[in-house]
Each structure stands twice: as C-alpha cells, then as structure tokens.
Amino acid sequence: MIEFYLNGEAQRCASLAPETSILELLRNELQRTGTKEGCASGDCGACTVAIGEPGRGGRLDYHSTNACITPAHQLQGRHLVTVEGLARGDALHPVQAAMVECHASQCGFCTPGIVMSLFTLHERQRQSPVALDDACLEATLGGNLCRCTGYRPIQKAARHMADQPDVRPPWADDSRLDDNVAALGDTLEATGYAIPNTLETLHALRRQYPTARLVAGATDLWLEATQRLEAFETLIDVSRVTELQAIDETPDGWWIGASVTYARLEPLLDAHYPAFARLLRRLGSAQIRNRGTLGGNIANASPIGDTPPILLALDAHLALEGPNGARTLPLDAFFLDYKRTALESGEFIRAIFLPRPENDQHLEVWKLSKRREDDISAVLGAFAWREENGCLRDVHLAFGGMDATPRRAQATEAALEGHPPDVATFDTARQALARDFSPLDDVRGSAAYRRLAAANLLERLRLKIDHGAVQEVCLDAYAH
C-alpha cells in the first residue's frame, strides 16, 4: 500500500506492479490526465511533475521530476503536485497566468511539464529569491522540449511570474499538510517493491531477495520498463537508506553516499571541483539531476557514463558491502568489461571516496555531444595534472565512449608525465593515445570520429595549459 498526497488530497494505492511509473499511476489509475507522455525516457519533460518531501524544519521541499521514469512507489510519504493542482478555481497560479499573458503555449502538449518546472522555480523563489537570468532559466527549463512555441515567450513568462496576482493553490492553505505528509513515513514493503531506510534493513532485504534489482533514481533502470517493456519481479529501493544519503568529510576528502543525488552533490563540487560541477550542469536536465545518483551512474557501468571518467582521473575509491562484509576498491579496478563490474553476488556500492584536491592540482572536463542540453556523451575526456618546474606531474587522463568501459589512458599519461607541455610532448602523447583505446562504433559516433575527437581534446588540453583557453564543458554545435 502506497500512501501519499496528491494536490493536497490523501491517496492510498494498492496492488501496483513494481515497474509502475508515476505517469502510469496518474493517467491509468487515478484518471489525472493533465500530465502528458511524450518520450517515456526522461528526455522531453512533457510529463514533469513536482514532488514535495520533508526537508529542513519539517517544511516540504519541492523538486521537479520526470513522471515517466520515476517509480510510483517512491511517492510513499511524499506530496505529488500536478498541473491540475495549481489554480484556485478560475484564478490561475502565477505561473499559469504568466504563460497565458506571454503567449507561451501553442499546441499545449508540452505546456503542463513546462508549467510544473516553473512551479518548482516559483516555490524556490518564495524561500530564497535568485536572479532569473539566462543561466537560471536554462537550468530550470533545459529538460523541457517545446516543438512549436519557441523558448523566448516561455522565458518571458518565467520573468513575469512575480508580476501576477499571488494566487496559491487551495492545498497551500492547509497548515497541517507538511506534518501529515511526514507522518506517512519513508519506508515501504509492498508486493515486489521495498523501500528500507537503514543499512541493516537493506542487508536483510538483500538476504531475503538475493536476485532483486536495486533502484535509486531510476533514471536509467526505468528505461527497461518504458522502452523494452520489461517487468520487474522484485525491486529494492535504496534512495532513502540513511547511510547511503550521507556526505562525510575527512581530512583527505569526502565519502559520498551512493544514493546522493547530483543536485545535492553540486554545491560540494562547486566549492572544490568547479570543472566537475560544470559537467554536472550538462548531465541530463534538472529533472534528471534531482533523481539521478552518483552510485547509480557508476554501478550502471555504461561506457558513456559522464561521471566515471572524472572520478577515474581523480583516483576515486569505492566502499562496497555485501554478504561477505565490507571492502574498498579503487574505481579503476571496478569496471571489468562492457556492463560488467567487480561487484560480487549480493554486493552493492555504499559510498564513493572523492579525494580532496591538492592546491596545485588542475582539472578539466570536456564533453562532446550532439546537442548542448540533456544529451548523452559521444566522447568525454577528464584531465587532471600538476605542473612542477615547467613539467607535467601526476598526470591522470580518463575517457568515456572510447572503449567498452570508462578507462584511464595509461600510455598517454606516461608520454606526458615528467615532460614539458610543449608541441613535441603532446605529439608523442597523441601517438600513444591511438594505442590506448579501441573506440566504440555506434549511432553517436564512429570509431574514426572518436579517435579524432579524443586526439583533439588532448590538443585542447595543450592549448589550455599554454594559453588558458576557454572552459566550455560541452562541445556541441551551439557551444560557440
């Protein structure tokens, strides 16, 4: 039995298949059809809804998510807000009123998702106003595709939300709503789907269901249901395990819980690894970053995952746990082959260790993709190094999209280590790079393209060291 609130009204839903998404629950079970299905893969944003979860001081914090790839069971103990829940009778919410005033909708299919993305921005503005500049609106709307209106009137509507009458939804008047939602509790054990909130309970469930799939953000796993139409027998949801949600600082770095979302990780990276933070802002949309987790991106073991090459370049380690106890493992020993890892039966990733940067350490990350927003990498290069007496030291280069796994370019590193960053050194390094990898050949890029692209990123690194070149993290058709 899932217990949650929908637009301020208590809901209890039983007998849902484990692979049921929020979108399916809304449209098929609850007959709330304002939320639309566009791509069923988390790309277009037509299905965007807002989820409120208990935050600091007991207040509900709202974030946007793609309903098509978010498990319905994750609504346990949450407040779901859809486009039907914003207006007060005939009086429109400020977001809706601004969309109308600025002529920001045509066919209307994508409009509910756009409205809900702007609703979460409007809620944040209530708590802590920020400038609605181009960067803010790009981050808010980057996951919402509009095929007919164009984005200028939508951005104009965002800037005019504050000019509208401050109409609040009826549920906003309920002073008990935050407490009522929190009282529902975080845990769940339904047929085929369990949500533990402690490591001890997670281990017990793993023993009880040894073949169960683990799910956190579901941003990749749920594509098996929506694209391949597969059913899940049993799922164990690790998104609320307290120990997997922690970020523990040590003198040498940080242990980041496997279920920490990208959105939560961003402030830490902004402070210590700004190049990594810039990459996060090109890793999917806000809807994806609100749900996706660092542990999931690693465990998925995709050769084109965005974060593993950076973590490899930074010498990250993993804390693993399973039926035989706990162990640590260097990340470069984790990826064995395509979609195959060093995880033993019953093991899972508990945390990722991110070393503290040295004062003279440099990091650059460049991602090649076909579009700037919300796209998967064709090639991603992560480059860490120091300079000492005019020579390169501690050179760590890692690539995604260049082999069956994310991998360090060891021969290339050796060609650069201890040498000055001049043209001759990098010419030798590019020759070594050709020996380091057997690139993928797929729809995102041929093997020849990837070899050339990786070599060009290496040249870009030389220019960066020599001339302080520009810092775009995503090199696409619109970067310049």
pLDDT number for residue 370: 84
Distance CA 405, CA 479 (A): 27
Q: What is the DSSP letter of 184?
A: T
Low-confidence ranges of the chain (pLDDT < 50): 476-480
Residue 396, token pair as written in the block: 């760590």
pLDDT tens-place string over residues 421-448: 999 999 999 999 999 998 988 888 899 9
Share of the chain above pLDDT 90, in %: 88
Whole-prediction pTM value?
0.93
pLDDT number for residue 471: 56
Query: Which residue(s) pair with 254 in the sheet?
Result: 249, 354
Phi, psi dihedral angles at 276 (to 5 degrees): -65, -40
Contact between 129 and 53 under an 8 Å Cβ cutoff? The reply is: no
> How many residues does the structure list for the chain?
480
Distance CA 189, CA 194 (A): 4
pLDDT number for residue 200: 96
Q: Which amino acid is at 401?
A: G
pLDDT number for residue 472: 58
Residues in CB range of 480: below 8 A, 6 or more apart = none
CB atoms within 10 A of CB 57: 7
> Strands 379-388 and 325-330, how do they pair?
unpaired
Q: In terms of DSSP H, where are the helices of 160-273?
A: 177-183, 199-208, 223-226, 262-272
> Strands 253-257 and 247-250, how do they pair?
antiparallel
Instruction: Find, among 225, 189, 187, 222, the residue nearest to 208 by Cα.
Output: 189
pLDDT tens-place string over residues 76-129: 999 999 999 999 999 999 999 999 999 999 999 999 999 999 999 999 998 888
Residue 114, token pair as written in the block: 């756009």
pLDDT tens-place string over residues 180-191: 999 999 999 999
Q: What is the DSSP letter of 355?
A: E
Instruction: Find, among 117, 448, 425, 410, the residue nearest to 288 by Cα.
Output: 117
Residues in CB range of 228: below 8 A, 6 or more apart = none
Distance CA 118, CA 161 (A): 9
Share of the chain above pLDDT 70, in %: 97
Query: Strand order in 474-475's β-sheet?
Result: 407-408, 391-400, 379-388, 362-368, 474-475
pLDDT number for residue 372: 77
pLDDT number for residue 479: 34
> Strands 79-81 and 60-66, how do they pair?
unpaired
Instruction: Find, among 458, 470, 403, the residue nearest to 425 by Cα.
Output: 458
The residue written with tokens 């961003």 in the block is 266
Contact between 320 and 329 under an 8 Å Cβ cutoff? The reply is: yes
Domains of the chain: 2-182 (3.10.20.30), 364-478 (3.30.390.50)
pLDDT number for residue 480: 26
